[in-house]
Amino acid sequence: MKLDAKIPTGDLKDKWKNYQSHCRLINPANKRKLDIIVVGSGLAGAGAAATLAEGGYNVKCFCFQDTPRRAHSIAAQGGINAAKNYQNDGDNTWRMFYDTLKGGDFRSREANVYRLAELSAPLIDHFAQQGVPFAREYGGVLANRSFGGVQVQRTFYARGQTGQQLLLASYSQLSRQIAAKKVQMFSRHEVQEIVVIDGKARGVIVRDLVSGELSRHSAHAVVLATGGYSKVFFLSTLAMNCNGSAIWKAHKKGALFASPSFTQIHPTALPQGSETQSKLTLMSESLRNDGRIWVPKNKDEKRAPNDIPEEERDYYLERRYPAFGNLAPRDISSRAAKERIDAGYGVGPLKNAVYLDFKHSIARLGKDTIKSRYGNLFEMYLKITGIDAYTEPMKISPAPHFSMGGLWVDYELHTTLPGLYAIGECNFADHGANRLGANSLLQASVDGYFILPLTIGNYLADDLKTGKISTDHAAFSEAEASVKNKFEKIINNNGTKTVDSLHRRLGKIMWQECAMSRTKEGLEKAIREIRELREEFYKEVKVTGKIQEFNQELDKASRLVDFLEMAELMCVDALERNESCGAHFREEYQTSDGEALRNDESYSYVSAWEFKNVGNFILHKEELKFEFVQPSVRSYK
C-alpha cells in the first residue's frame, strides 16, 4: 500500500490556504442530504458534531458516558497553547510549529504541525466567543502562563480546569444543535463495530449500555473521535472507561494504525497505593518548579523521609541532569524515576514512588509563597493521601497519560479506510514521538472545529446522489452477528477470573516491558505473555448478569478483548523501531551517558500497521520529509 499523506503544495504557511482554496465544497441544500456519524463527544467529537450540524449535515453522535458533558477531555487541567503573542515575547506560528515538531523528536509531519500552530490563534477567539471564562488580567485582556518545553508564554487557561471549560463550551454548542434537531445524541451508547460496504465506511453497530440492545446506524461517512488508549496499562491518569475499542475495530476493518507504541508516561502522578487501586491521579507538572525530587541512598531505608539526613538522600535528577535538574522533560524525568525504583530505591509501602520535597523551597520562600503557588494541589494531595505536604514530602510516581499513536490519517484526517475519519487523540497526527503539554486540547479542538468539517466535504462531494444508506445491507447483518457472537461468548464462558484481574495483569506486562524503557528481549517476552493472557482470557473470564441489561462488567470485558489484541501490536511496533526517540526509549540505543539515540537515517518514518489477522501485522512506512527545518538532537544536560 502506498501511503499518500496528500500534503498540499506550496510554502508551509500557504499549504492550508491552498487546500481551502482548492478543495471541493458542498452547498447547504446538498449537505441536508448527507448523514454523518460522529463517535465520541469529547473536545474533538463535540466540536465536529456541532460544526457539521451548523453547516447543514445530519449528524448522529455517540458517547458511552451518561451525557456528552463528561468526556475525558474534562479532566485536563493545565491549559491550551496558542501562538497569539499577547505577551510580546517573540512568539509566532513558526516558533510554535518548531517547538512542537522538536518536542515530538521529529517524528511528525511538518505540514500538519504547522497547521496546528496556525489554527491555534483563531481557536482562542472561538472559545472566548463561546463563553469560556479564560483567566484574565485586571485590565480585561487574556492571561497566559508558560508550560514545559518552550521559552514563551503561550498557554491559555481557565483556573486549573481548562479541559472542563473547553469541553463544556463544546457541549453547549452541541446542545444547541441537539435542540435544533440537527444532531441526534446517543448517550450511554457504545460503538462496537464499523460497517463497511463496497470498501467504504457506511455505518456502525451500537450497543445501548442501559438495555444491552444492539442497533444499526448508517451514514455517508463515519468520524471517530474516541480519545486515547493508555488505559491499556490498566493504571493510568485516564478516566476509568476510556478504551481503544473503536480504534481497534476500525483497524481490523482496514484502517492503518500509526506509531502504536508511542505513549507518554507523565512523571508526576500519585503512586499506586495498593493492588486494588484503580486509577492514578495526575499532579500538575508545575510542582517541579519548586519541589526537589529524591530517593534514599540506602535501599532498605525504614526511616520516615524527614528523618533521613541530607547526605543520605540522592537527588538523582540534579545529579544526572545538572543543567535542567528537576525540570528535565517528561520522558527523561519519568525514565530516571523508573531507573531508581527498579534498582530498589523506591519509597512508600509498595516501594514504587519517589519523594517530591518542598522543604528547601519553603525554607527559602516561606510557606505562604508556596501556598499561593500550589495551594489547591497541596489540598488535593491531602484529600487523597491524608498527608500534609507542607511538612512531609509528597510521594510521586510516573503514570501512563497520553497516546501519541493512533489511526493513521492523511492531511485531511482521512484514515486509509475510505469514508472513515479520525480526529483528536485517537489519530496519530501531530505529536510525533512525544507530546508537549497543552498541545492536545488544541489538537482535539482544531481537528473537530476547523479541519474536519471542511475536509470531509471533499470526500462527500461524490455522495450527493447516493441517497440514504440502507441498514438492511448484508454488511450490517454480518457486523451485528459478529458483535452478538462476541458478547455471547463472553457471557457464556464458565471461567473463574474477573475482568479487572485479567486487565491488571495485562497492565503489568505493558508497564514492565512497553512503557518508559524497552528492550528487544523484554518486548519479545511481553508478546509471548500477551498471547498467553489472551488465551487465558477466553478460557477463564467470568462475567455475571445478562447481555440484555445494564452490565458494566460486560462492557469492561468487551473493551479488554480489544486491548488484548492491541497490546501486542504496541509491542511489535516498539520492537520494530531500533532507535530511541521521544517517549520511545530502547535501552539498546542510548549514548554512553544514558541518553536517547535517535536514528534519522533508518527511522525517519511513521510506522503504519496493517491488520492481517490477530497477531499478524504488516508494516507500511510513511517517509517523513523535512523540507523546512533540519532535525536536531535534543539535549538537557
Partner 1 sequence: MKINFKIWRQNNSKMKGHFKVYPLENITADMSLLEALDLLNEELVEKGETAVAFDHDCREGICGQCGIFINGRAHGPHDNQTTCQVHMRSFEDQSTIVLEPFRANAFPIVKDLVVNRSSFDRIIQKGGFISANTGGAPEANSIPIGKERADYAMDMAACIGCGACVATCKNASAALFTSAKINHLNALPQGNEEALSRTYNLVEQMQEEGFGHCSFTGACEVECPEHIPLTSIAKMNFDYMKAVAFKK
Ligand X SMILES: Cc1cc2nc3c(=O)[nH]c(=O)nc-3n(C[C@H](O)[C@H](O)[C@H](O)COP(=O)(O)OP(=O)(O)OC[C@H]3O[C@@H](n4cnc5c(N)ncnc54)[C@H](O)[C@@H]3O)c2cc1C
444 binds ligand X (CB under 6 A): yes
User: To 10 degrees, what angle do helices 110-118 and 12-22 make?
Assistant: 80
Residue range at the interface with ligand X (CB under 6 A); choices 19-27, 33-41, 253-261, 451-459: 33-41
CA distance 600 to 597: 10
Q: Which is nearer to partner 1, 173 or 261 (CB)?
A: 173
CA-to-CA dists, residue 133 to 20, 127, 142, 301, 373, angstroms: 31, 9, 10, 48, 20
595 in contact with ligand X (CB under 6 A): no
H or E stretch covering 355: strand 354-357
Using the rule CB under 6 A, which residue among 101, 222, 270, 438 binds ligand X?
A: 438
| CA separation for the pair 632, 630 (Å, rounded) | 6
Q: What are phi and psi of 347, to 5 degrees?
A: -120, 170
For partner 1, the closer of residues 277 and 471 by Cβ is 277
CA distance 214 to 207: 5
The question of whether 598 is a catalytic residue gets the answer: no
CB of 343 to partner 1, least distance (A): 25
SS3 455: helix
Catalytic residue among 70, 115, 330, 335: 330
Cα 122 to chain centroid distance, Å, stands at: 23
Cβ burial, residue 551 (10 Å; 0-12/13-18/19+): buried
Residues 148-207 close enough to bind ligand X by CB under 6 A: 162-163, 190-191
* Those residues with Cβ within 8 angstroms of residue 6's Cβ, 6 or more apart along the chain or in another chain: 410, 411, 412, 414
* Residues 45, 71: Cα–Cα separation, whole Å: 10
CB of 195 to partner 1, least distance (A): 27
DSSP secondary structure letters along 239-300: -TT---HHHHHHHHTT--EE-TT-EEEEEEEPPP-STT-----B--GGGGGT-EEEEESSTT
Residue 226 touches which member of ligand X, partner 1, none, C-beta under 5-8 Å by kind:
ligand X
Q: Which is nearer to ligand X, 112 or 162 (CB)?
A: 162
Segment 234-263, which members bind ligand X (CB under 6 A)? Answer: 237-238, 242-243, 245-246
146 binds, among partner 1, ligand X, none (CB under 5 to 8 A by kind): none
Pairwise CA distance, residues 564 & 506, whole Å: 7
Which of 52, 282, 353, 420 touches ligand X by CB under 6 A?
A: 282
Report the C-alpha gap between 152 and 308 in whole angstroms: 38
Instruction: Give the C-alpha separation, 65 to 73, whole Å.
Output: 12
Minimum gap (Å) between residue 430 Cβ and partner 1: 20
| 389 near ligand X (CB under 6 A) | no
Residue 396 contacts ligand X per CB under 6 A: no
Please choose which of ligand X, partner 1, none residue 136 contacts, taking the beta carbon within 5 to 8 angstroms, the exact cut-off set by kind.
partner 1
Q: Does 464 bind ligand X (CB under 6 A)?
A: no
Pick what 159 binds: ligand X, partner 1, none; C-beta below 5 to 8 Å, kind-dependent: partner 1
Smallest gap from Cβ 243 to partner 1, in A, equals: 12
Min CB(240)–partner 1 separation in Å: 6
CB of 437 to ligand X, least distance (A): 6
Q: Point out the residues that are catalytic.
A: 330
Binding site for ligand X (CB under 6 A): 39-45, 62-65, 71-73, 75-80, 162-163, 190-191, 225-228, 237-238, 242-243, 245-246, 282, 401-402, 424-426, 438-442, 444
